[in-house]
Amino acid sequence: MGEQIRLASPRDGFEFDAYRAPTMDARRGGLVVCHAIWGVTPHLRALADQFAEDGYETIVPSLFDRHLELDGARGFAERDTDPALYARQNGYAEHAAWGAEVLDGVQAAIDAMAPPVFALGFCFGGTVAWLAASRCTGLSAVASYYGGQIIDYLHDAPKVPTLLHLGKTDELIPPATVAAIREAYPEMPVHEYEAGHAFVAPNGFHADSARLSRLRTLQLFARNGGGNNRGGEP
């Protein structure tokens, strides 16, 4: 359903890959999906297609392309997880510059779509989505899924409506971290599910949590401008 496209960094013009899933009928808005360390996986591409069916033109930017290019490994991921590539992918996440690389890619994806534009992200991408809510322009609302590094960026207050999806048994995000987030942002919805980490992804999938979190995310978008516009018009 979707296609591979090229976007350019608004900072230095670096071109990187992205997956775009267009809407087939009524357009509710645009959506940027921020990937986990595994990159633009088959699961995320399928998820983008599903959001497009819901009326959201969806772009999944490949946020590690600067590093992948140096390693001669440009292109979308062929598997949802690959233990043999964990060290490499995690290294990309650890060394990527949030502003100069990662959020530049998110901003380019936002700018490529007519408003309203929303964002969501998973794991590493959950933290990216959190930072996009405060540092990027042109977003109407953001949903973050199990962003393990949000605790390190609590001072980056979201500038748009934002909600968090967390697993109650997620060992990467312990109860003390959740409590600190709630204390810092008492008015922000922080939903906890009877699940562990990656409950939307194949490697940690929990059907009820994935279904309910998706419903809440779509409700957030609908409350913040996700209407029914024909033909992709803003």
pTM (two decimals): 0.95
Buried b (16+ CB within 10 A) or exposed e, 145-156: bbbbbbbeeeeb
- Tens-digit pLDDT profile for residues 139-194: 999 999 999 999 999 999 999 999 999 999 999 999 999 999 999 999 999 999 99
Task: Give the integer Cα–Cα distance in Å for 3 and 5.
Answer: 6
HSE of 197 in the Cβ direction (CA atoms, 13 Å)?
A: 12
Burial of 216: CB neighbours in 10 Å, binned 0-12, 13-18, 19+ = middle
Q: 109 Cβ partners below 8 Å, 6+ apart?
A: 7, 18, 32, 59, 61
Q: 227 Cβ partners below 8 Å, 6+ apart?
A: 28, 29
pLDDT (average), residues 2-29: 95
- Tens-digit pLDDT profile for residues 43-63: 999 999 999 999 999 999 999
Assess contact for 58 and 20: CB atoms under 8 A: yes
- Tens-digit pLDDT profile for residues 76-118: 999 999 999 999 999 999 998 887 889 999 999 999 999 999 9
Q: How far from each other are the two terminal CA atoms of the chain, in whole angstroms?
A: 22
98 closest CA partner among 68, 129, 69, 144: 129
pLDDT (average), residues 57-75: 95
Assess contact for 23 and 56: CB atoms under 8 A: yes
Assess contact for 130 and 158: CB atoms under 8 A: yes
Which of the four pLDDT bands, split at 50, 70 and 90, describes residue 232?
very low
Task: Give the integer Cα–Cα distance in Å for 54 and 64.
Answer: 28
Residue 230 has pLDDT above 80, yes or no: no
Assess contact for 210 and 217: CB atoms under 8 A: no
CA distances from 22 to 88, 114, 214 (A): 31, 12, 19
